Every structure is written in structure tokens, then in C-alpha cells.
Amino acid sequence: MDPTLRDVLARLDRVTGPLEQLRACFKEAVDVTAVSPSMALTAARKVLEFIVRDIYKRHTGNEAGTQPLENLLQRLNKDGCLPRLIAAYANAVRELGNVGTHVFENLTKEDVARSLSQLTVIVQWYFEHERPNGAEAAPAEIVAAPVVPTVAPAPETKRPHRRTLTLAIPVVLTLSVFLVLSAFLLPPVRAWLFPSANPPNGRPAPDLAAVPATPAAFKGYIDVIVYDPEDPQRQNVRLNTPDVLPLKPGDRFAVEAEMNPPAYLYILWIDADGKVNPIYPWKPGHWEERPAEEQPVGRLRRPEALDHWFTIKESAPGMDTLVLLTRDAPLPADMDLRAELGEVHSQTMQSPHATAWFENGALVKNEPGRKGDFDEQTLGDPVLAAQEQIRARLGRWFPYTRAVSFADRGK
């Protein structure tokens, strides 16, 4: 048994008294996940509300009262009490909880897995930054108190401030059991919590610190804006615009990317010759110049200034590809991404108008404006092979990827 799991179970065995109510609440959520995802999502929202109300009281000195969870999150975010990534995750958990409570939709176990993956990151942050000594400072027993208020505020008590710490203990402990048990109930959670020890490229599995422990339910895109200084019909247009392809030497372009929730983004350019260059967060084209500090990003444009552009250079005719790699946490500084990906073969084009968008290595077919012109049935196509290579060699580092490939006329 994993030592961390053994420690969690040992701590849970010591939980007694009123705290057992919280444990029972989480256990009930686990039991109903398969039969009622809506109830499980509501339980996850209650955990979030407990954390948010506690942070609100600690930072403002006031009870949250009857303020809605959305208003509390807005206040904490405005006051800088929540990192942008945590605030984004919290809103996602809140929205899923609202769907589970108020909306009649066909929810699934996968919806629960998405909520729990983000909630876990929130709980980890909460104990690291808001309650770093919570477990040690907690008394052995407390007076019974309401469990995770939803609308009405918890009644004020005369207990010393330090005793409020004890309510934080079961949140992380019972949530840990929730996730462990969910690993056997939900295939996506099981895949995230227990990744294969033998990655596809044959390299040893990385340290746990290098891999996002709980990938969020990311959704995003990467696109190209084209600017031809000599043709007004090809200025500030996108790849799906008629007659914009193929791109040619001298064409200018900008890269746009968006990710929800915000995350740590890494953008690569694979040219028709198969050469891989960094675009972001590195200095474009310079693997050795990566910023020491990075921040979660929800949307970006590179070059950042609207009147600045990259330029298509002379190369062999083929397909150029922009790859968007997404993580919950910054990529370890000592990780050589170029070496990890390995050599990429030349990218020949199917036609001068070929375009293709990919999500997690699969061809995108139903997104407005990203239908593309590409035959995925072509055997041995190098563009498809490159997507398979990205997922096989980088998938353990990046739980979510997007890409766009487009024809480059070359010399």
C-alpha cells in the first residue's frame, strides 16, 4: 500500500465525535457517484463552500452570513486572496455543483471526476497556504457544529479561534478517501491517480512532483491570424478564410491561444522540415531563454503587441504545426522538453489547402471555424504521426493538448 494512502487511512481511523458526520457525508457521496452524479457534484460544492467561507472569515474578520458562494468568490478574488488558477477552479466546481443541484441534465461519472480533480487542487492549496498547521493545531475534540453551510451561515459560537481549525481536518482527509475510492469507481480518476509506470517512450517514470497530480477539465484552442502585407484580402484573417492557404515566405502571422480554466501553457512550432522551436513561454526560437517564474494563463497572443507579427521563412513545402501543451503546474525547470519529444519527421502536405485542428491528438471535426481540410485516413501521414508522438512522449507531462496544422508553400 502506498505510504501516503496508509497515513491518510490511519488519520481517518482517529477521527471521532462530530467529525464523523463529515466523514459520513463524503462516504455517502462516494457511494452515490455511480447512481447519482448530481448528488456527488453537490457534495463537492459543499466542500468548496466550507473552504471559501473559512477563508472569507479569516481574511475579513467577518462571518460570510447569507452571501451566495459566487459573491464570496468574487470578493476573495478581488481582494487578491485567491490565486487566479485556484479562483478559476473554484468557479468550475461551483458551476458543476449548481448543475447537480438545480439543472435536470444527464450528468455522468466523468462530470464528477472533473469536479473532484479541480477540487483536490483547491484543497491542497488551502492546506498549504491557508491552514499549513491546521492538523497539528487542532484540538482532540470539538463541540458539535453544522457541516458545510450551504445557504444559512453557521451559528456563532464562543469557542476559541484555534478550534475552528479542526473543521478543516476532515475536508482533506475525507476527500482523500473520496478520491481513493473514486479511483476504483471512475476510470478517468483511476487513470489520473495511478499512471502507468512504463510510459510509451520507454523512459523511466518521472517524479510525482513533475506530473500534475489531478488534471483539470481543460478546454481550449490554438489558432493563427494571417497578415499578408501585399494582399488586403489576406490581412487579419484566419486559416479557415477562403484562399488564405497555403502560407508562403513573407507572410506574417500571430498565434492566439485560450484555455479554460487558466493553466500553465507551453507552445511549440513544428515546421515543414520537422524542426521544433519554442514559442511560449520561452523567448521565441530560444530554448535556453525560459522565464524563471511563470503564471497561469487564460488567453494569450504572440507576439503580444497587435502590430507585431512573426514571419514565415523559406523552407521545404509541407505542413507547419503549432502545438499547445497544458499543465496544472509549471514544467520542472530541469525538464528538457525538446529531448523528451525527440526528433520529428518532415511534415509533407496532403494538398495546398490542407488544415487540421487537433485536441489531445484527435482530429477536431465539430468545432465552428475549425473543420479543416484533411483526410485522417491517409496511411502514414506525418502530421498524424507527429500528433501520436506528442501524446505518447509528452502525455504524461501534459494532460491536455491542442494543435493546428496548415499548408506552407515553402520556397
Distance CA 186, CA 262 (A): 25
Q: Which three cell numbers stand for residue 314?
A: 523559406
- Residue 286 DSSP code: B
Q: Which residue has the cell 478550534?
A: 163
Stated length of the chain: 411
Distance CA 38, CA 249 (A): 54
Q: How far is CA 164 from the centre of its chain?
A: 31
Q: What is the pLDDT of residue 407?
A: 96
pLDDT tens for 235-259 read 999 999 999 999 999 999 999 999 9
Residue 145: predicted pLDDT: 32
Mean pLDDT value across the chain: 76
- Among candidate residues 113, 122, 120, 264, the one with its CA nearest the CA of residue 191: 113
Q: What pLDDT score was predicted for residue 2?
A: 35
Q: How far apart are CA 169 and CA 131, in angstroms?
A: 9
Task: Answer yes or no: is pLDDT of 105 > 90.
Answer: no
Q: Answer yes or no: are the C-beta atoms of 326 and 400 closer than 8 Å.
A: yes
- The predicted pLDDT at position 273 comes to 92
Output the nine-digit C-alpha cell for 60. Answer: 475579513
Higher pLDDT, 213 or 78: 78
Q: How far apart are the first and last CA of the chain?
A: 59
Mean pLDDT of the region 308-328? 94
User: Residue 207 has which C-alpha cell?
Assistant: 517524479
pLDDT tens readout for residues 191-212: 443 333 333 344 343 333 333 4
Mean pLDDT of 104-112: 73
Which grid coordinates are listed for 21?
458526520
Confidence check: pLDDT of 33 > 80: no
Of 18-22, 62-66, 141-145, 265-269, the range with the lowest mean pLDDT is 141-145
pTM summary value: 0.51
Q: Is residue 8 within 8 Å of 176, Cβ to Cβ?
A: yes
Mean pLDDT along residues 15-22: 45
Q: What pLDDT is recorded for position 262?
A: 94
Q: How far apart (Å, rounded) are the C-alpha atoms in residues 15 and 135?
A: 12
Maximal CA-CA distance, the chain? 79
- Residue 286: CB atoms within 10 Å: 10
Query: Which set of grid coordinates corresponds to residue 337?
Result: 522538453
Question: Does residue 147 have a pLDDT over 80?
Answer: no
Contact assessment for residue 84 and residue 172, using Cβ atoms and an 8 Å cutoff: no
Q: How confident is residue 288, by pLDDT bands cut at 50, 70 and 90? A: very high
* 106 against 314, higher pLDDT: 314
The residue with greater pLDDT, 50 or 72, is: 72
